[in-house]
Amino acid sequence: MAGRRKVPVPFPSDDDILRFINENPSRVHKREIARAFHLDAAQKMKLKKRLRKMELDGTLQRGRGKRLSEAGTLPNVGVIKISALDGDGDVLARPLQWDHDSPVPVIYMTPGKPVEPALGMGERLLARLIPQNTKNEQGAALYDATIIRRLSAAAATVMGVLEETKGRFRLKPTDRRNKSELLIEHSEAGSASAGDLVRAEVLPGKRLGIKQGRVIETLAASDSTRVASLIAIHEHSIPTEFSPEALHIAETAKAAPMAGREDLRNVPLITIDGADARDFDDAVWAEPDPDPANKGGWHVIVAIADVAWYVRPGSALDVDAYQRGNSVYFPDQVVPMLPEALSNGWCSLVANEDRPCMVVHLWLHTDGSIKNHRFSRAMIRSHARLTYEQAQKARDGEPDEATELLCEPVLAPLYGAYKALSRARNKRGALELDLPERQIIMAEDGTISSITVRERYDSHRLIEEFMIAANVAAAETLEKFHQPCMYRIHDQPSAEKMQALREFLDSLSMKLPKGQVIRAQQFNSILARAVGTPNQEIVNTIILRSQSQAEYSPDNIGHFGLNLHKYSHFTSPIRRYSDLLVHRALISGMTKNKTLGKTLSKGGLDTIEHDFAENGTHLSRCERRAAIAERDANDRLVAGYMAEHVGEEFTGRINGVTRFGLFIKLSDTGAEGLLPISTLPHDYYIHDEAQHCLRGRRHNKTFVLGQTVGVILIEAIPLTGGMVLRLSEDDDEAGIISGPKPKLTRRGVPKRSQKKHRKKPGKKFKSRGPTKRGSTNP
């Protein structure tokens, strides 16, 4: 009897093939695919043609050894190049070669052993790559990488401080990730002396032992009181010197002519700024709208320094300002975007002096919505320079000599208009985060005298709301004039971040609904529920971390956080180049629409204006660079302040959870230090990224984000800004016990993991026992 003919199995679809490739732990060939789907000889020929077609249409790619993978993915092992640091200080890399249309993958380097030299920019590595199975906001795939072999050294220069030791210098690096010191002979130190901040190059020599170095630049003398900020400036390559041509333009600048400007010198505009402010780029005024058709409405004037009059497109001053992108503010100094002759002189709205301004008149309905607006170039004279504290005390019935005569005619209308704008903000549902801002008070010797929580008054909110209204008006006007606009955009949170946020909030019994269009008001509901609870600060922090990063772009997508469809930055051209671009575009628009005379058309966009898309990318990078530099300087200053308190006990909250330990934010000072995973008690701890916690595998002890713990300061290193903590004895058993204690094998491994240790057929089994990584007592 003839045998039955074998019926071929269904041929896999493209999606089936892709799913198998992605789910397979290693890269696969055609043979593995055919075997997995039980294909016969005829189907194997069809598979060959199908794989070729998928290659041609860009669905698949072939790597080494003709291994197949989904297009736009990285191999399990590849050569990568260290490229950057992110905002959290993680080292990032990128593939050495990338010729796909999709965004270049972002690779996070897994921290190495403490004794390993730090990775340097440009260094090439052979690494094992593990996909995170997620993408960032730009659509780039994310990977983790562990080093297999270092292939080439980075640019071999190290910044650090010289210490005298046994007749020669020892260079202590300023980068906390760099554990490798250099030995420098006196003959190789030039004019540098002990305590100086220097940059040194690594000299060729033997691979083992401490490397030799040579000083190539002295950055700061040992007696400098600004070492913390100087390190940040040099570490992040922040420009500090203006060209001679730029300085000449600034120092020879003269008063702007009155001709053609709107004369507002008799209007009692005032400036309200911080007590330590030196440049004043905005002044405000308000009155009830005299139009009877707008009963209860307001007429507001926001005047901004006319920086475009002095900084002309293409000039040496313009080139230097664009290179900086923004001013950088450290506790001990400021690196300005413009020379002081302008930023503290002609472009600063000093009280009782005539100053040219870009002015916006805003007419508000009683509910705070903008009825209409008008821009002009004007001349003003600030009638008073007030601090936030002064303005608030005067409003609260405690005026001083400077504010006594301003209370009713000036401050009362300003606060009235503010209340209207505040109603509009509440109605549209802007994101309302409430996080304490700490202020570092410096002593004359460059050290910290105190760290306080910065007070926040209605006077702060008043200025914020006036500036937001002016920024909205600027964006609307540029669209009306058909001029290019540098929008300030803020996208909604990514799906990945939202999922992670939901999982964290679930652990606090707070629900964030799925399947809805995300609005800022939904976050506000969560924030309101957290008010007055122990989790209030951490919920605010996690919601902040879930947000996308605001950027500059000529392509408008709106501002999610403020819940505004059109938004730009117009109000700070002294310290932000983006605002200067907006001023120029407004001037060009008003000139074309004949609302400005010929004499006031100067300072607009030039005929070969910059590419706004390229500008937006550059300015966003400058902004991030400044933020990281400011944070690094603060960390070093705070570490110096805390160095006097080593051995003392503090209360703090878990502010970050990583696979190598916990970041603890101290309650009194806001200082943050690392509690290494190796110091946690009596277990092997697993990092649960979704729940933001470390969980003990043996005893199920859990340390979770937001948890209050007692800690002891073990080490504070002002040079790097690092602090190391350990749990206090009272908190050695502080971990939250969560869920039933898992059942263990005789080797102390949870039973669900026992299969990993089973004896393989034909091979002699030898147990290595439980690992000690991350545990002092496994």
Tens of pLDDT, residue by residue over 40-65, are 888 888 888 888 777 766 666 666 55
pLDDT above 90: residue 180: no
Supply the pLDDT for residue 755.
40
Output Rg (C-alpha) for the chain, integer angstroms.
31
Minimum mean pLDDT range among 82-91, 137-146, 295-304, 627-636: 82-91
pLDDT above 60: residue 761: no
Model confidence band, residue 745 (pLDDT cutoffs 50, 70, 90): very low
Supply the pLDDT for residue 70.
62
| Distance, first Cα to last Cα, the chain | 66
| % of the chain surpassing 90 pLDDT | 53
Q: What is the largest CA-CA distance in the chain?
A: 116
Supply the pLDDT for residue 777.
33
* 300 vs 512, more confident: 300
Supply the pLDDT for residue 99.
64
Mean pLDDT value across residues 287-301: 96
Distances (CA, A) of 434 to 456, 527, 636: 10, 9, 26
pLDDT tens figures, 315-352: 999 999 999 999 999 998 999 999 999 999 999 999 99
Supply the pLDDT for residue 563.
96
Residues in CB range of 138: below 8 A, 6 or more apart:
103
pLDDT tens figures, 523-564: 999 999 999 988 888 899 999 989 999 999 999 999 999 999
Supply the pLDDT for residue 763.
43
pLDDT tens figures, 575-618: 999 999 999 999 999 988 877 766 677 777 764 445 888 899 99
Mean pLDDT value across residues 213-227: 86
Mean pLDDT value across residues 420-433: 95
Mean pLDDT of the chain: 85
Provide the whole-model pTM: 0.76
pLDDT above 60: residue 750: no
Supply the pLDDT for residue 758.
42
Distances (CA, A) of 266 to 285, 286, 288, 352, 398: 12, 14, 17, 11, 26
Supply the pLDDT for residue 514.
81
* 1 vs 147, more confident: 147
Q: What string of DSSP letters covers 120-153? A: -TT-EEEEEEEEEEEE-TTS-EEEEEEEEEEEE-
Closest among 660, 663, 657 to 774, alpha carbons compared: 660
pLDDT above 50: residue 760: no
Supply the pLDDT for residue 103.
78
Mean pLDDT value across residues 346-366: 97
Model confidence band, residue 768 (pLDDT cutoffs 50, 70, 90): very low
E strand or H helix that includes residue 633: helix 612-642
Q: What string of DSSP letters covers 506-524? A: HHTT----SSS---HHHHH
**Distance, CA of 498 to CA of 500 (rounded, Å):** 5
Cβ atoms within 10 A of the Cβ of 244, count? 9
Supply the pLDDT for residue 114.
59
